[in-house]
Amino acid sequence: MAINQHASNLINITVSAFSSDVASISPTDGLSLVDSWISFLKSDGQEDNPITNHLTALRTELQKSNLDGARIQEVLNDLVGQTTQLADSAEADNKSGLTTLSDALKGFNQQLNLPTPMTHPDKQAPLTSTVGGESTTSGAGISAVGASDDDLSNRNGGTISSIPIGTSE
């Protein structure tokens, strides 16, 4: 039996999303994709499937206010294993799509495991202060907005610009 059109569309969307840079996927985007998969699997009678359980665990992690990267990687790793197993045992007409999905999940999970700039202090962004809602590299935390400055259209990155927006110097 071939993968139905809904599953095929979800596979294509997932592969497309996870084939890009890990930084381009927001937790909200991930959550939406996970919810789509869970809804599909439940509508297909797969609510007790281990993949559904792992997706539910991933959804729980993505809904937290403080994301736990290690736990997300762990759940994704479990999903990679389950998807790979499913692809390996799939009928010939389903194998290609499921293998592509498994490879995309694996690649995305590997990107999550790559060192981030925070693990390389020489590559970190400069420390800034955001006291008063304004960004300043001096650490003084002095706002560029005066007490009577109601027109914020001339602001550019926390500083006041005398050049109108949409024009160049």
Q: In the chain, helix, strand, coil percent, each to 5?
A: 60, 5, 40
Q: How many distinct structural domains can be found in the chain? A: 1
Using one digit for the tens of pLDDT, what is the confidence trace for 48-82? 889 999 999 999 988 888 888 889 889 999 999 99
Mean pLDDT over 35-54 rounds to 88
Give the residue numbers spanning the domain of 24. Answer: 5-110
The pLDDT assigned to 45 comes to 85
Residue 24 forms part of a structural domain: yes
First to last CA, the chain: 63
Residue 159: CB partners within 8 Å, gap ≥ 6?
Answer: 144
> How many percent of the chain have pLDDT more than 70?
65
Cα Rg of the chain, angstroms: 23
Q: Does residue 163 sit within a domain?
A: no
Q: Render 67-87 in DSSP notation, one character per residue.
A: --HHHHHHHHHHHHHHHHHHH
- Answer whether residue 167 is part of any domain: no
Q: Is 67 contained in some domain?
A: yes
Question: Is 73 inside any structural domain?
Answer: yes
State the pTM of this model: 0.61
Q: How far apart are CA 158 and CA 169, in angstroms?
A: 18
Q: How much is the pLDDT for 57?
A: 93
